């Protein structure tokens, strides 16, 4: 009988102590209470969820309120995104309102905001290229580029956020000149050679066709026609040759001149050093 009574008393004590133990286990955790479309690390929240440091909270057309058991409360406005830390809230997009009694700070882009004393109520908004800080109660310390300024209670400060410049497009690869000092690439030399070869073949066919139509003994003007064709062929070859040879010779001469100038400069420095 006594054992049965003792068992009942122990059961009652355990029932009373279990909720208290669970409540103590929750101490120090951060809970997000959602209303509407709110996601935690990409997963939609039905009503509430526990937030761990580094978690990302995003809102659509709704408001999510994050309550910390250690004395800070963060309200995330609609169409906003934050990353929650143990001591700092990073605003990636939109607006977050912070009410803290333990000095929780906030960050947006390169700007960090912290209460001058531990107790403060303020908002920090990041929209486009601007960061707007508003202090409702308590002074704030704003740090940017290694410089810290004070924002009085009830004041607002707007600053420009740093944007990452787009990388410059890589220059298109250029074919290296086939001859030193010249600007002609292998493709250009090949094209010029193809034109010369084509002109020579066409002229050869033309001359052969004309010669095939000459009767034995020839015509009186056939020699003049063949001579004219020969001059035309020579003219084409000379023009193409000069187009190829001139840049090559110019490039070689420039290379030789630059080399001679460099050697002369080095000799001059050696003479001055010897003196």
Instruction: Tell the CATH topology of 30-160.
Output: Jelly Rolls (2.60.120)
Q: Is the pLDDT confidence value at 98 over 70?
A: yes
- 109 or 238, which is more confident: 109
Is pTM beyond 0.95? Reply is no
Q: Pairing relation of β-strands 38-40 and 55-59?
A: antiparallel
Q: 107 - beta bridge partners?
A: 90, 112
pLDDT band at 13 (very low <50, low <70, confident <90, very high): very low
Q: Dihedral of CA 112/113/115/121: which sign?
A: negative
Task: Kindly report, residue by residue over 186-218, the tens digit of the pLDDT.
Answer: 666 566 666 666 666 565 555 555 555 555 555
Q: Where are the domains of the chain?
A: 30-160, 186-274
Lowest average pLDDT, out of 98-107, 135-144, 181-190, 258-267, goes to 181-190
């Amino acid at each position: 009988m006594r054992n049965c009574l003792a068992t009942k008393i122990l059961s009652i004590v355990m029932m009373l102590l279990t909720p208290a133990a669970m409540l103590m286990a929750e101490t120090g955790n951060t809970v997000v209470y959602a209303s509407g479309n709110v996601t935690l690390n990409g997963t939609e929240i039905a009503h509430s969820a526990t937030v761990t440091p580094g978690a990302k909270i995003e809102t659509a057309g709704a408001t999510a309120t994050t309550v910390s058991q250690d004395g800070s409360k963060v309200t995330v406005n609609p169409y906003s995104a934050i990353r929650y830390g143990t001591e700092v809230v990073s605003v990636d997009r939109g607006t977050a309102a912070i009410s803290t009694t333990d000095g929780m700070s906030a960050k947006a882009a390169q700007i960090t905001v912290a209460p001058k004393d531990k107790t403060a109520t303020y908002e920090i908004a990041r929209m486009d290229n601007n960061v707007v800080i508003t202090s409702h109660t308590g002074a704030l310390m704003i740090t940017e580029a290694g410089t810290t300024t004070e924002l009085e209670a009830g004041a607002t400060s707007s600053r420009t956020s740093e944007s990452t410049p787009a990388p410059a497009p890589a220059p298109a690869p250029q074919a290296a000149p086939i001859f030193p000092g010249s600007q002609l690439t292998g493709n250009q030399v090949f094209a010029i050679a193809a034109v010369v070869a084509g002109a020579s073949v066409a002229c050869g066919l033309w001359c052969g066709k004309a010669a095939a139509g000459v009767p034995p003994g020839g015509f009186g003007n056939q020699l003049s026609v063949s001579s004219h064709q020969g001059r035309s062929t020579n003219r084409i070859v000379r023009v193409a040759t000069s187009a190829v040879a001139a840049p090559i010779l110019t490039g070689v001469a420039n290379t030789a001149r630059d080399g001679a100038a460099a050697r002369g400069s080095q000799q001059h420095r050696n003479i001055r050093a010897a003196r």
